[in-house]
Chain A
Amino acid sequence: GNSVTQMEGPVTLSEEAFLTINCTYTATGYPSLFWYVQYPGEGLQLLLKATKADDKGSNKGFEATYRKETTSFHLEKGSVQVSDSAVYFCALLTANKLVFGAGTILRVKS
C-alpha cells in the first residue's frame, strides 16, 4: 500500500542551525509529494511540493527534492528560526487522496 515514513521527533535545534527532516515513501506509480506545516492551534499550510522525479520544491528557505531512486523527499533549511517551531507533515497524493506521515515536531531555541 501507500505510506509515508518520517523521522521521529521532537527535533530540537538552536536558532541558525541546519535542519533536515527525513521523509521516505512507498507508493505505486509516481505520486506528487508535499510538505505541510502546522503551527500550534492552526490548520495545515502547504509549505512546498514536487510533482515529478528530480523536482525541487522550495519556499521560505525550506527545500526538498523528489528522489525517485531512494523514494525520499527530505526537508531541509539552512538556518532555522524560532518562528519555524511547528509540526511538519510529509505527504503523498495518490488515488485522489493525501497520505500523511506521522508528523515531526520541530522546536527551535533562541
Chain B
Amino acid sequence: DAMVIQNPRYQVTQFGKPVTLSCSQTLNHNVMYWYQQKSSQAPKLLFHYYDKDFNNEADTPDNFQSRRPNTSFCFLDIRSPGLGDAAMYLCATSPLRAGLYNEQFFGPGTRLTVL
C-alpha cells in the first residue's frame, strides 16, 4: 500500500544533543511537510518542500532544519533540542493537481522525548 512512513516512532534524546527524524513516502507526491504537535493541540506547520524548493514558516525556530535529498525522503534535524521541543512530529505529503495543492496524507508520527 502507498503510504507515509516515519522512523523511529519513538525517539529519546538528551537536552542539546542533535537528533534527526526521518520520513519516507511511496505516494510519489511533490510536496512534503513537517508539523510539530504538542499535547491536545492542533499540528503546527514548521516547513514544507515543493519538490526541492524549501518553504520555511516565519515563526519556525532556527533550531529546526530540514533536508529533502530526493522525492521519497525528507528529514527533520533538531540541532540543539530543548525541553520545549518534546512533542509529536508529523510528516505529511500532498499531490499537486492542476498546479494546486491538495489534501495532505499524514504519517504515524514520531514522539520525541527530551531528557
Contacts and interface: CB of A to CB of B under 8 A. Distances in A.
A102 B39 CA distance: 11
B109 interface: yes
B69 to A, nearest CB: 22
Contacts of B111: 41
Give the bracket for the number of chain B residues in contact with chain A: 20 to 34
A32 interface: yes
Interface string B85-111: 000001010000000011111111101
B101 A100 contact: no
Interface of B: 4, 6, 40-43, 45, 48, 50, 90, 92, 101-109, 111
B103 A49 contact: yes
Contact of A42 (B41, B42, B105, B109): B109
Interface of A: 32, 34, 36, 41-46, 49, 89, 93, 96-98, 100-103, 105
B79 to A, nearest CB: 24
A58 to B, nearest CB: 15
Nearest to A48: B103
B106 A45 contact: yes
Contacts, number: 45
Which of B6, B48, B103, B108 counts the most A-chain CB atoms under 10 A from its CB? Answer: B103
B45 to A, nearest CB: 6
A98 B109 CA distance: 17
A69 to B, nearest CB: 24
Contacts of B92: 44
A98 B34 CA distance: 12
Nearest to A90: B42
Nearest to B43: A100
A46 B109 contact: no
Contacts of B109: 41-43
Nearest 3 A/B pairs, CB to CB: A100-B42, A43-B106, A44-B106
A36 B105 CA distance: 10
A93 B101 contact: yes
